[in-house]
Amino acid sequence: MPESLQKIYIQVAVALPISDTFTYTVTGELIEEVAVGKRALVPFSGRKITAYILRIIPPGKRKGIKDIITVIDTRPLFPPQMVEFFEWLSHYYLYPIGLVIKGALPAGLNVRIPDRTRMPSRGWLDRVGLLKMVFITLKKGTTIDRSLFDRKRLPRNEDEFLEMMIKKKEVSLREINSVFSNGAYLADKWVRKGFLKKTRRTVARDILDETLFIPTKPPPLNSKQKEVAERINEKLRDNTFFTYLLYGITDSGKTEVYYHAVRAAKELGKQSIIMVPEIALTVSMASLFKARFKDRVAILHSALSTGERYDQWIRIAKGDADVVIGARSALFAPLPRLGLIIVDEEHDLSYKQEEKFRYQARDAAIMRAKLSDAVIILGSGTPSVQSYQNAAIGKYGLLTMPKRILKRELPEIQVIDMAKLKRGSAAQDESIMSPPLKEAIEENLTQKKQTILFLNRRGFSSLYLCRFCGETIRCPNCEVSLTYHKYGNNLLCHYCGFSIKPPKRCPSCNSEDLKPYGFGTQRVAQVLESLFPKARVERMDRDTMRRKGEAQQVLKRFMQHETDILVGTQMVTKGHDFPDVTLVGVISADLSLNYPDFRAGEITFQLLSQVAGRTGRGNMPGKVIIQTFNPSHYAITATKDHDYTKFFSREIALRRQVNYPPFSLIAYVRFLGNSKTKTEKIAAHIGMKIRNTIKQQSKRKNAVEVLGPVEAPMAKLKGKYRQQILIKSRTSRYLNQLLKDVESFSTQILSSSGVRMIIDVDPYQMM
């Protein structure tokens, strides 16, 4: 054998925070085992570490190249087509390629998996669709005597457990376990005593453990759905990259269109990915596909166990799945014949990962489709401004589905002008609960219907508002709301650093009624309790939902109508179907309308539309009441009229005027440190260097704008002081190059400073 065949060269990425790739040699028997997409164990700075094989490369004039130690996997974890995608992600989001791949692969892989490990292939099938569950039932004819409760030496919770059994008669073992840590023991004990009975039944599951009806036979498409499906088929047959925006209102039948698209792709021998914004939503989507495609469906999201994820991953890599359904991480499904990607609810902010590798999964999906010559469908009832603009200028194909399938009425939306109200009455609680909202809740309670009250807060309420005309003070440069800082008693722009003392009088109406504004869900719940002492009220927000599974318990109680009023933040807005909810109240639209964020209008419109969609899902028509000091703001009036295009035309004009995305690209450079002065100093130093860098490259001068450094709206978070620099650029290439320069010159400035720098490209988190 000639020497060249006894030795090959490979390019690898290592799972370390290093942006470079490395070359190793492979000799002897390992040559046959090496393949792109497998992991190898390599020597690296005196250690043995995991490396991902990116390419087999031709030998060059290389010296001192080390041999790999071994090949870890028996089969590739990703197809060669994905290497270019990983490289793009690493380049665009400035994140080390080895860590991009590590994050993409199922967790737990970095320990060495023994060769020939085979996970049982059944487990995941049971996670959706039909599922056998154990129920504990009160035996017929037996009563549990309350005197049992009084006996001594009962294990803790035993009386509560028995009370629950008496009240509910039948409870799933899973529910018992979720309530009592010793649930299995308690159930067994009382089964042995002959009071309770254990049964096993097949049920369909969804996140709330409610039975889910799954029609296995697809319903016939209506003419609009057919037309849309046909336009998608056309592009699928072309075998080239194409992006569609599917703008379809809630209940317009998007899911059936998705199903037909996936089926059409399958008939062409192509595989599909469906992404949904939340793990909880994968279950209902997967149930539908599972019922129709049987075991050709795979599921990928971070709530699967390590074994399950690994198993799913290998099935996908082997080509055993026609469609992969999942949250953000489904983007990385190792499909070798990818022909279609569907991003459902494309406007949803959860597509942006906000830690470590800060990618935007929808945007990245478009790039993956491009690199795979695939068709991508972005679906939404309230499309992002960016996507709709791309459709408007012809970059994307626009598909619209403007009508509800079941011809259910859209909810009636009433807007309450809180400023007007204040003039009439001075009652304190009325600024939280206006008389019309109060009356509507009262009536709903009498009718035995349920109410959702929504308060958008996100732990941030430093808003300075004129109670008379509803104006907030905005930055003259950036058009975003200024944030009130109690500490220094000033109003600050978190984009450019503009700062003023709070004026005594409102600049637009001259009223003196200008003051900080804000309250939380707790306050709302208190007001409810005093107004409706008999109503069953529950709160759902980050403060009350610390424990795992707590949110689902609250939603479940609400679903079963054990609660009359649910007060909550964003958590209550998504995906759930509550047929008894006929009233939704938005306590204050102003809180999101005045985020220090250029997307404040967009976020408000999407949130309000989404919240409004929570009502009237049963047979009764729904009603929505929005309380605001800004009743004439276009985001509010467009929501009231269910008019997306009206909202869009106003919003896009504003973005163009102030040069925000989609008319520019932005990035944040953030600084986090334990010491306030040190963090400020480093941020100022790097800010100055960024400006100098731009000055030196005359071509860039007009294309890039640097704002800051300035204190972040949440100036201190988790013990770290935060500073930020905002960079706006006309082109993505300039921005990327500049950020690479920033990264390289900052290494030295940051070293042993105790300050960490984070680069966030296309940021969504402005706080």
The binding site for Zn ion (CB under 5 A) comprises 466, 468-469, 471, 475, 477-478, 493, 495-496, 498, 506, 509, 511
Nearer to Zn ion, 532 or 660 (CB): 660
Pairing status of strand 450-454 against strand 463-466: unpaired
Cβ distance to Zn ion smaller for residue 508 or 674 = 508
| Least distance from Zn ion to the Cβ atom of residue 636, Å | 17
Assign 3-class secondary structure to 698-729. Answer: HHHCCCEEEEEEEEEEEEEECCEEEEEEEEEE
Q: How far apart are CA 610 and CA 570, in angstroms?
A: 10
CB-count exposure of residue 269 (10 Å: 0-12, 13-18, 19+): exposed
Using the minimum distance from each CB to Zn ion, give the nearer residue, 158 or 471: 471
Minimal distance, residue 500 CB to Zn ion, in Å: 11
Nearest to Zn ion of 265, 506 (CB atom): 506
Q: Please state the closest distance from residue 593 (CB atom) to Zn ion, in A.
A: 15
Smallest gap, in angstroms, from Cβ of residue 508 to Zn ion? 5
Between 308 and 590, CB nearer to Zn ion: 590
Between 422 and 681, name the residue whose CB sits nearer to Zn ion: 422
Smallest gap from residue 478 Cβ to Zn ion (A): 3
Handedness of CA 109, 111, 113, 119 (dihedral sign): negative
3-state secondary structure of 624: strand
Closest CA to 367 of 238, 241, 278, 269: 241
**Least Cβ distance, residue 599 to Zn ion (angstroms):** 15
Token code pair at residue 761:
């490209």
Rank residues 477 and 560 by Cβ distance to Zn ion and give the closer one: 477
Minimum distance, C-beta of residue 691 to Zn ion, in the bound complex (Å): 17
- Of the two residues 136 and 727, which places its CB atom closer to Zn ion in the complex? 727
**Nearest to Zn ion of 131, 684 (CB atom):** 684
In three-state secondary structure terms, 511 is: coil
DSSP character string of 487-507: TTTEEE-TTT--EEPPPSS-T
Hey, what amino acid is at 490?
N
Q: Residue 382: CB partners within 8 Å, gap ≥ 6? A: 347, 605, 606, 609, 610, 644
CB of 263 to Zn ion, least distance (A): 50
CA dist., res. 427 & res. 436, Å (int): 14
Query: Please, where are the H alpha helices in 294-337?
Result: 306-318
Shortest separation between residue 479's beta carbon and Zn ion, angstroms: 8
Strand pairing category for 70-71 and 39-44: antiparallel
Who contacts 738 (Cβ-Cβ below 8 Å, separation ≥6)?
690, 693, 694, 700, 704, 727, 729
Query: Which run of H or of E encompasses 556?
Result: helix 550-559
Q: In the complex, what is the shortest distance from the CB of residue 676 to Zn ion, in angstroms, rounded to a whole number?
A: 22
By C-beta, is 13 or 491 nearer to Zn ion? 491
C-alpha 121/C-alpha 133 separation (Å) is: 19
Residue with Cβ nearer Zn ion (59 or 476): 476
Q: Where are the beta strands (DSSP E) in 550-694?
A: 565-568, 581-586, 623-628, 665-673
CB of residue 389 vs Zn ion: minimum separation in angstroms? 23
CB atoms closer than 10 angstroms to residue 189: 15
Backbone φ, ψ for residue 671 (5° rounding): -125, 130
